[in-house]
Amino acid sequence: MKACAWILAVFSLACSAQPANDFTPIHRGLTSPRCLNCHTGTAFPRQGDERRRHDFLVVRGADNRGAAAMRCSACHTAANSGNLPGAPHWSLAPPSMSWEGLSEGQLCRRLVDPQRNGRRSVEMLLQHMASDPLVGWGWAPGGQRQPVEMPKEEFLRALQAWSAAGARCPGTID
């Protein structure tokens, strides 16, 4: 199923007339603290809108789910609970998926590189961002946390328009 048809079927969204190949709104969404706190290149997660080091000196661990004595799942369950954020398979993104400090073009190239994005095609990225509960948590973070600034439906429309226009990255030559 084509990405636009899939998004239409799942979210009842129209395929927007976003300017062709515009990665700017996608970059804006993906560089929200909700995304960057886990898509960090550091050995530890970050938290809060100010992106401070995670409380209790939590560290990444070999599998990106915390050190042996302090696993992410010890506090982060499958759903938000009180002030503790939660979503299924809570973890840090692998270091290869760090988006910290990247320009639009750099983040875009990292996003479409199967060696650095979990071996996903662009269509698989669309499905992942539309349906993965951990990704969706960014728009429903609970507690006093601010969600990703751009509404999820708008983000998905921008992602689909970029994909439909060829998923080209800023600064690349066709």
Asked whether 67 and 74 are in contact (CB, 8 A), the reply is no
Q: Vertex 113, ends 110 and 115: CA angle to 5°?
A: 110
| Residue pair 168/21 in contact by the 8 Å Cβ criterion | yes
Cβ atoms of 27 and 99 closer than 8 Å: no
Per-residue pLDDT of 63-110, as tens digits, reads: 999 999 899 999 999 999 988 999 999 999 999 999 999 999 999 999
User: In 3D, which of 144, 117, 116 has the Cα closest to residue 132?
Assistant: 117
Identity (one letter) of the amino acid at 120? R
Helix, strand or coil for residue 163?
A: helix
Residue 19 banded pLDDT, cuts 50, 70, 90:
very low
Whether pLDDT at 16 is above 60: no
**Which pair of tokens denotes residue 20?**
């062709």
What type of residue is 46? Answer: R
Supply the DSSP symbol for 2: -
DSSP state of 79: S
What does DSSP say about strands 52-53 and 46-47: parallel, antiparallel, or unpaired?
A: antiparallel
User: DSSP secondary-structure letter at 149?
Assistant: S
Q: How confident is the model at residue 10 (pLDDT cuts 50, 70, 90)?
A: low
